[in-house]
Structure 1
Amino acid sequence: MPLLKYKPFLLLFLISIASFCQIKEINPPSYIKTINFKGNTPETQLPILKLGEYVILEFDALNGNEADYYYKIDHYNYDWTPSVLMKSEFMDGFDNQRIRNYENSFNTYQIYSHYQLTIPNEQTRRLKVSGNYLLSVFNNDDEIVFSRKFMIYEDQAAVGVAIKRSRDVQFIEEKQRIEIVVTSNNTPLNNPTQTVKALIVQNNNLNTAISNLKPQYTLGNQLIYKYDTETSFLGGNEYLFFENKDVRAANTGIRAIDLQDLYHNYLFTNVERASKPYTYNPDINGNYVITVLDAENPSIEADYVWMHFSLVPTETLKNKNIYVYGNFNNYVIDESTKLIYDEQTQLFRNSILLKQGFYNYKYVVVNKNGRLDEGAISGNFYQTENNYKVIVYYRDLGARYDKIIGIGEGSSVNISN
């Protein structure tokens, strides 16, 4: 009897805990490939769009079933806990609608259906407020297939971003430090140490972002962030790349081609770069672009190719967990990207099914404690060209949700002391 007495309170407690859990993106099953999520810029996977602009989601289903998929949109606080807003408060129209725009592949060895969703549309007419959003895709059985985060901002503050070398002599050759100046346009930012929070994203990768930064001090209508360790990122190294827009001929980074059930492209074997001097090697900061030679519509005419990666091991790497890393799968670390040591060739190897295009990638190590070490194989250099985005959230006293009042962007190509 005493236990039954407290069951309602226990249930309420568990619900309240669940409501404060940070949401994480759901990774797709193996038959869903090339999730292209973008705003009105060519960058993929992390759309940050101005209030009123559109966002596009594209993906391929390789099972060839022409299945129906549905989408839902939810609003979140700055820390990706669910906001208290009702659907009608942040959305004009309806979600939970079928994705109607899809085409089947044309003239490809791998059969697939290409789906495209644009928001706003006839059903979801407008997203009314700024902040964090999650777009989730479901199948006919209302089972979630995958989800992706995006952000909407209002132009209420100018965000200045400067990239500097680390002040810590220990990391002066390895780290990049971000300084931020937030200038409000017209609206005063009340009690900014409590109401304003900044997020710094390196190369569109939310997994390594630095969050919940508070201003150090104010200067008139400006908020100043001049931290050292709190806003520092390891510089990493430039990404490796390949291009296979023509699967029948050798392209950039590809040493051999084979046709079996599908085309197989074998990349040149890579080596460890951490112990070598930094070399400038232009990249697109981990991103990828779908492209194919002699075709009008790469979305349905680009084929899928087995890409074979290989890495020369060093003594320190032989017992490590090594993965292929990049925006091609939203920087996910899983078994599909893990390299396996091949005793016969004495190389680390892996093969990944990817759509034709231009891809950036690098090799990373995941330590036994689960911590990602991006520089173990590639190295960390302050000279590396990285892209940084700063997203500024504001919740006024008594407000019910976190606005995004401004974004800033900077590149370390002009890094200074």
Structure 2
Amino acid sequence: MLSLTQAQNIKTIQLRPLGENQFSAIVPLGSVLELSFDDLDADSKEYQYKIEHMTPDWEPSNLIANQYINGFEQNYISNVSNSFNTLQNYSHYSVQIPNQSTLITKSGNYLLSVLDEYDEILFTRRFVFYENTTTVGVAVYRSRDTKTINEQQTIQFSINYPGIRINNPSQEISVSLIQNNNWNTAINNLQPQFLRPNQLLYKYTRETNFWGGNEYLHFDNKYIRNTSLNIAKTEQKEIFHNYLYIDEPRAENIYTYNPDINGQFVVRTLDGKNPETEADYAMLHFALEALEPYKNKDVYVFGAFNNFELNTENKMTYNKEAKFYEAEIALKQGFYNYSYATINENGIVDLSEIDGSFYQTENEYTVIVYYKPFGEIYHRVIGVGNGFFDQNK
């Protein structure tokens, strides 16, 4: 989860299906995803995208490019537009995958890389194309483990495959389980516990447990000039500066329902019609109350806005006089979810130490089914299922 900082000029990376408020890049084969990002240098660069087929463990697969793509696996991003009427100038890049030059023919895991003019990788994003050849039923429950019954959720699921011949499920089928589209906490390589005719059952009580976490915090600065949802103060300097209300640690509090979008963000503005090029950037000032600094630990603010990764850009510093952690992050106008995490001196990430973990938290889970029959050289994705936690279960 800890990663290197991407280029400081690259912001607001999104890889999403076409359509409003669609966040997951796990889609049926033949669907269209759109990659978009901004370059704060506001000049015209020759960026390229590259697509690679991957294994379930996100290593390069045995396929060569012409076995999974009709066209070019690497090509220029030619759709570029400049910001309009913003204090922060930027260039907005976008490309749809697949397109006329890049037609993807096989299901599976894919890694999308964006390269600069020197063929250096600026950033990567994962996506999955799947076939609807199985039916995946997913149920989410409160943890059955008495030690974590109040903090964790467990996922149980079934795979129904009436149209596929599976001779050896333990060798031919592998499964990945993802919480809230965050690959950093995925559980991989799960094996079925029970076999029935044309059905695999996964009824684990511990192996498929996730920490429930807490509902994400949020803010909305679609009207950048004024205070608004969870923004206490606004100043105009070289760009606008939005100061969030000081957050308190929530780990010792009781669970409180607070609707969220599971860590995602939506770019929007009231100052223009086209948020892609008319939404401005603001310097967001995050603050987390702490009477004393966390001993031998670093604190980070994170969410989908930085791919749920912890890096130098979103690392917080402790203000001894004010007694809070603070961070400044330039973000495009919109509605954002965010949360806090700690890393100790051994590199162990704790997503619950600050905000807590509760079995009641509303999370979304995705089950991805990989299939590699004997003699095949790559993993197909033959089904995807989704489930949500229901407190009444």
Task: Give the structure-1-normalised TM-score.
Answer: 0.91
**Unpaired stretches in structure 1, ≥5 consecutive residues:** 1-23
Q: C-alpha distance in 2, partners of 1:338/1:107? A: 31
Alpha-carbon deviation of 1:188? 2.1
Which residue is 1:208 aligned to?
185
**What amino acid does structure 1 have at the position aligned with 2:65?**
K
CA contact (8 A) 2:32 2:96 kept: yes
Residue matched to 2:74: 96
Q: Is 2:287–2:324's contact at 8 Å kept on the other side of the alignment?
A: yes
The residue that corresponds to 2:198 in the other structure is 221
CA deviations 1:68-117 (Å, max 9, x no partner) are 10111111111112111111110011132111101000000001000000
Residue 316 of structure 1 deviates from its aligned partner by: 7.2
1:206-238, CA deviations, whole angstroms, 9 ceiling, x for partnerless residues?
Answer: 000000101111112110001111100010000
In structure 1, what residue type is equivalent to 2:264?
N
Are the structure 2 counterparts of residues 398 and 414 from structure 1 closer, same or farther at C-alpha, using a change threshold of 3 Å? Answer: farther
- 1:360-416: per-residue Cα shift (whole Å, max 9, x none)? 001111122111111101111000001111101010111110000000001113562
State which of 47, 51, 56 in structure 2 corresponds to 1:78.
56
Tell me, in whole angstroms, the C-alpha distance in 2 between the residues paired with 1:378 and 1:252: 20
Q: Which amino acid aligns with 1:57?
A: L
Q: How many residues align?
A: 392
Return 115-124 or 202-211, whichever deviates more: 115-124
Please report how far the alpha carbon of residue 185 of structure 1 lies from its aligned counterpart in structure 2 after TM superposition: 3.5
Bigger share in helix:
1
1:316-373 CA distances to partner (integer Å, 9 max, x unpaired)? 7365311001110101101111111112212111110000000000111112211111
Work out whether 1:150 is the aligned partner of 2:127. Answer: yes
Distance 2:319 2:33 in 1: 43
Moved more, 314-323 or 89-98: 314-323
1:127 to 2:126 alignment: no
Query: Partners of 1:243 and 1:233 in 2: how far apart?
Result: 29
User: 2:204, 2:159 → 1: CA distance?
Assistant: 14
How far has the Cα of 1:143 moved from its partner?
1.5
How far does residue 194 in structure 1 lie from its aligned partner after superposition?
1.1
Q: Which residue of 2 aligns with 1:303?
A: 280
1:275 aligned partner: 252
- 1:332-347 alignment, distance < 5 Å: 332-347=309-324
> What residue is the counterpart of 1:379 in the other structure?
356
Instruction: Quickly say closer, same or farther: Cα 1:414–1:355, change in 2 above 3 A.
Output: same
Deviates most, 170-179 or 45-54: 45-54
Cα 1:415–1:134, aligned 2, differ >3 Å: closer, same or farther?
farther
For structure 2, the 5+ residue unaligned runs are none
Q: Partners of 1:263 and 1:290 in 2: how far apart?
A: 16
TM-score (norm 2): 0.96
Cα distance change on mapping 1:318 and 1:42 into 2, 3 Å: farther
Q: 1:341 to 1:315 in 2, by over 3 A?
A: closer
Shift of 1:44: 6.6
> Matches of residues 18-417 of structure 1 in structure 2 within 5 Å?
28-40=6-18, 42=20, 46-124=24-102, 126-315=103-292, 317=294, 319-414=296-391, 416=393
Partners of 1:288 and 1:130 lie apart in 2 by 27
State the Cα RMSD in Å: 1.6
Q: What displacement does 1:139 show?
A: 1.2
> Percent of counterpart pairs with the same letter?
45
For 2:96, the aligned partner's letter is T
